[in-house]
Structure 1
Amino acid sequence: MKKFRFGLDSVLDYRQQVLDGLQGEYAKALERVRQQEARKEAVELQYAQVNQEFRERAAEGISIADAMSYETGLRVLERDIAREAKRLQELQQAAEVKRRQVMQAHVDTRILERLKEKKLQDYQKDVQKSEEQFIDELVSATRHMESG
């Protein structure tokens, strides 16, 4: 019998390339999420530090102008935190979309891999039957020659 050949190997190869590409894109999306989380945390830390400094200075007594300056600075940082949080949410959503694409590509690839495995098993069964038939014919021919 001829060597096993899976007719959809080129499709399987393509699906694997798509999966590999999507996995790379997903990894990059996760890295962007991590970087954005760090940016947001940095602004939150800055806010906490300015707020603590403001409270300490206010306890010691500061001018109204200085207090308003701190308040303005804190409001700016609050807007920065909100902006960074919104950007983080957008990046998380984009990463989730990539994750779903990776999962679907994995399913598509796995379906073809299972089909290939089944076709290989069927091929191997056919080879085994062919070999058994050949052996039976050989034994039958040998018996026929011995008896004849």
Structure 2
Amino acid sequence: MKKFSYSLEAVYQFKQKILDKLKKEYAVKLQDVQIQQRLLEDLRKELHHYEEEFEVVKREGCSIENMMIYVRGLERMEKRIKKEEDELTRLTILAEEKRKK
């Protein structure tokens, strides 16, 4: 009777292809997280700049209308930062899910 022989090389190559695909998907998700982190950093710097500018304008004196414009602008900027933080959280969760696979 002939002995059964099977090479596991095909199974190993298939497993490697799947693993490589998952690594690439994880890298893309991780890159999305990094882009979002840079965006948030830029927005925070911009907010800080506007806050400093507003403090200078307050010290120098300005109309109430101009002050309200600054306040509304700062509030909108803070809302955008919060929205982008939520997006960063979502992207981080997606990246972690890909990493665990």
CA distance in 1, matches of 2:45, 2:93: 24
Equivalent residue number for residue 84 of structure 1 = 84
Residue in structure 1 matched with residue 62 of structure 2 by the alignment: 62
Query: Is 1:15 equivalent to 2:15 in the alignment?
Result: yes
Flag as ranges the 4+ runs of structure 1 deviating above 6 A: none
Report Cα offsets for 1:113-140 as digits up to 9, x if no partner. xxxxxxxxxxxxxxxxxxxxxxxxxxxx
* Count of equivalent residues: 97
Once residues 79 and 65 of structure 1 are traced to their aligned partners in structure 2, the CA distance between those partners, rounded to angstroms, is 21
With a CA cutoff of 8 Å and minimum separation of 6, indicate the structure with the bigger relative contact order. Answer: 2
The aligned amino acid for 1:45 is: K
Cross-structure match for 1:108: none
Equivalence for 1:74: 74
Deviation string 1:12-64 (CA, Å, 9 cap, x unpaired) is: 21111000011111111111111000111111111111111001110111111
- Tell me the amino acid that sits aligned with residue 15 of structure 2: R
Gaps of 5+ in 2: none
TM-score normalised to structure 2 length: 0.90
**How far apart are 1:10 and its partner, in Å?**
1.9
**Could you tell me how far 1:6 is from its partner in structure 2?**
5.1
- 2:11 maps to a residue whose letter is V
Which digits, 9 at most, give the CA deviation of each residue in 1:62-100, with x for residues without a partner?
Answer: 111011000000000001100110111111111101111
Q: How does 1:1-148 map to 2 (within 5 A)?
A: 7-101=7-101
- The alignment's TM-score, normalised by the length of structure 1, stands at 0.63
Q: Could you tell me how far 1:7 is from its partner in structure 2?
A: 3.3
Identity of aligned residues (%): 33
Q: Distance in 1 between matches of 2:21 and 2:73?
A: 44
Distance in 1, Cα, partners of 2:82 & 2:9: 50
Q: Secondary structure in 2 aligned to 1:39?
A: helix
